[in-house]
Structure 1
């Protein structure tokens, strides 16, 4: 497999509004939608469906057990089709890497795993870009299980 580009970063933040004031209002990212009962916001520069996801956790760890403020995970695009994601999954399994989860996010399909230091990494392929270009809020569609 070959990484095509770093697609997005997900941060756990203390105060979503404060973070939106920085990333959206000051840096100019466009908010495309909210999830988790309004406690998370997806943002884009326009390059793709989202480059940044902010998830409010307040004074961590708190009620969101095990979470802390800071980096949650990075997303790396590894192809353009489910066949390429299947191949990436095979390569990971052959290398002895455990897959922690697989998700269909409507705008993308993903594998989740840990790097050698325990950081979460999402490897993904995008769905047809018309989905999010025609409906930017598709990025915050309910997450579905993915079967490869």
Structure 2
């Protein structure tokens, strides 16, 4: 496909809007466990939540999905929502918060360019909590392209960030 147009470098993903089966259960997870703030309710079937007072980073609604079962793992749809933390210490803090809430993780990874914690929300939507390593530390291949990988994340080293 020949296309000269390139999306502007400053473009960002502004928010994600998720269909959920139980709004309160989702608010308990996203606000109660992860610490997002409720910015507004939209009637009784939708909520908008954010970090730092933005209008919303995540929308949650039950408009078409109230009391629905989880979709199968092999169904098409969102693989995960990735939530970017500003520092490694912030990632360590959310790791401890989720762990203290006894909420289950599904994985942990060092991707070379980032470090990530993985879990599922109550409806089975994947959630990645991560921080980007400084760009000058990103591994590159001999041709200059990124050398992303998946290696085990040293959780003890991550937790040590909280002592610094």
Match among 92, 96, 105 for residue 102 of structure 2: 96
Report the secondary structure of 1:89's partner residue: helix
Partner of 1:137: 145
In our comparison, the structure showing a higher alpha carbon Rg is 2
Deviating more after overlay: 89-98 vs 103-112 = 89-98
- Consecutive unaligned residues of structure 2, counting only runs of 5 or more, are 14-71, 156-164
User: 2:134 and 2:116 mapped to 1: Cα distance?
Assistant: 14
1:146, distance to aligned residue in structure 2 (A)? 0.3
Instruction: Check the 8 A contact 2:120/2:126 in 1, yes or no.
Output: yes
1:90-123: per-residue Cα shift (whole Å, max 9, x none)? 1001122111100001110000001121111000
Partner of 2:78: 71
User: 2:119 and 2:4 mapped to 1: Cα distance?
Assistant: 33
Q: How many residue pairs align between the two structures? A: 95
Report the secondary structure of 1:92's partner residue: helix
1:108-145: per-residue Cα shift (whole Å, max 9, x none)? 0000001121111000011012245977732x522111
Name the structure with the higher strand share: 1
Q: RCO (CA 8 Å, sep 6+): is it higher in 1 or 2?
A: 1
**TM superposition score normalised by structure 1:** 0.51
**TM superposition score normalised by structure 2:** 0.47
User: 1:25 and 1:67 mapped to 2: Cα distance?
Assistant: 32
Partner of 1:105: 111
Match among 124, 127, 132 for residue 133 of structure 2: 127
Instruction: Label 1:106 to 1:46 Cα distance change in 2 as closer, same or farther (>3 A).
Output: farther
